[in-house]
Amino acid sequence: MVAERRPDRSPRRGASATFDIVGHAFLFAMGAWFGNRKVRMGGIASVAVALEARGLGVGTGLLNDLHVRSHARGDALTMLYPFRQGYYARLGYGPTTSRRRLAFDPASVPASWRALAIDGVGRLRAEDREAVTRVYERAARRTSGWIERSANAWERRFMRERVEYLIVRTSAGGPTGYVAFTIAQEEPHAETKVLVEELVSMDDRARRALLGALGGLRDQIASIELEVDATDALELALVDPDARRHGTEIVEHDLGTIVGGPMVRIDGSAEGIVRAIEARGYLTDGRLDLVVVPELDAKETLALSIRVERGRARARASRGAALRVPRRALASVLYGGLLPSAAVRLGLAECDDPRALARADALLAIPPLAPVEPF
């Protein structure tokens, strides 16, 4: 979508006015996995306003318009990668869990994992491609935030020359995991890194085998960079992951970087809030009452009773509850991996009944956001 402005000093030519384009923003229709269920989501990207039109509300206007369109077509949320969180926080976007970008020496990968790779891991062949897409789909269901990919999207991914794929097979034959990566080297003979784009597996053994295969590159590669979610324990299996780096006085062992995640927003209308609650999946069944407010100190409230059966939620009006959550924090809880108890500890939500809060944690929890490809 674009924002247009009548150039104020230009003469009108003929009957029709001419317009300058002063801004643009994209809204993609996406499906993404949350709590074992695919959710319709609007992906917002490439928001930009011409230098001469900044600060006039053009960007805000474009985004508001995209939010209306996204809600009208049935999306449960919008997601974006912010250039600055503050700009989008004003518009109702809440943060999601950060990922950890580990940087580790290939020699730190356990020898037993390398042994798994020797028979099981090989290069991707053209006939394996379809099976690779199925591995992704199956793995995506268990994640928070992985995006459904069309056949075209896969085709574009496989066409990229610099991206290498390794796959792991079981003795029965079918792939159970793959890793896509690039090799980065600034000039011949300089330090070489493996930058993992995605490492996807149906089980833990396949994951160990793929990491083992990357570990097998230890003579050529100085370091492997791989993003894992906030709770992944991978580095606990690595011995001296920073062996080829030095520390500082404060940080002796630097294992990588914490990377901010995307932001998520749900529509503020009662219908939008109910849709956001009902659209995602839930990992356990149960009941919960909560009160959604525009801001913590707001008088206007929406009291809801949520009942989850077989992983699906129904939200109905209720009379009140101990847990009080602003809409922005609710977006982070429903779609950003923020636990209600963490929201309360941070002052983002309120609850004076510890048992209700424990129930909310159990019912609303999803895994932290998995490393998601930026759009």
Ligand X SMILES: CC(C)(COP(=O)(O)OP(=O)(O)OC[C@H]1O[C@@H](n2cnc3c(N)ncnc32)[C@H](O)[C@@H]1OP(=O)(O)O)[C@@H](O)C(=O)NCCC(=O)NCCS
List interacting residues with ligand X (CB under 6 A). Answer: 47-49, 54-60, 83-84, 86-87
Among residues 52 and 297, whose Cβ is nearest to ligand X?
52
For residue 121, give the 3-state DSSP assignment. strand
Q: How far is the CB of 90 from ligand X (least distance, A)?
A: 7
Identify which of residues 243 and 259 has a Cβ nearer to ligand X in the complex. 259
State which residue, 53 or 115, has the beta carbon closest to ligand X. Answer: 53
| Distance in Å, CB of 247 to ligand X, minimum | 34
**Closest-approach residue to ligand X (CB):** 59
Pick 14 or 86: Cβ nearer ligand X: 86
Query: Which amino acid, residue 176?
Result: T
- To ligand X, the closest distance from the beta carbon of 60 in angstroms equals 3
DSSP 236: G
Nearer to ligand X, 158 or 375 (CB): 375
Query: Using CA atoms, how far apart are residues 356 and 323, in angstroms rounded to an integer?
Result: 7
Q: In what order do the strands lie in the sheet with 256-259?
A: 121-123, 164-169, 175-185, 192-201, 223-228, 99-104, 256-259
Q: How far apart are CA 237 and CA 220, in angstroms?
A: 22
Asked whether the beta carbons of 178 and 124 are under 8 A apart, the reply is yes
| 3: Cβ contacts below 8 Å, ≥ 6 apart | 21, 22, 23, 24, 49, 53, 58, 61, 62
- Cα separation of 177 and 207, whole Å? 7
Q: How far is the CB of 201 from ligand X (least distance, A)?
A: 32
Query: Which residue's CB is nearer to ligand X, number 59 or number 281?
Result: 59
Q: Find the shortest distance in angstroms from Cβ 264 to ligand X.
A: 15
Minimum CB–partner distance for residue 165 and ligand X (Å): 30
Under 8 Å between Cβ of 49 and 61: no
- Token pair for residue 73? 């077509």
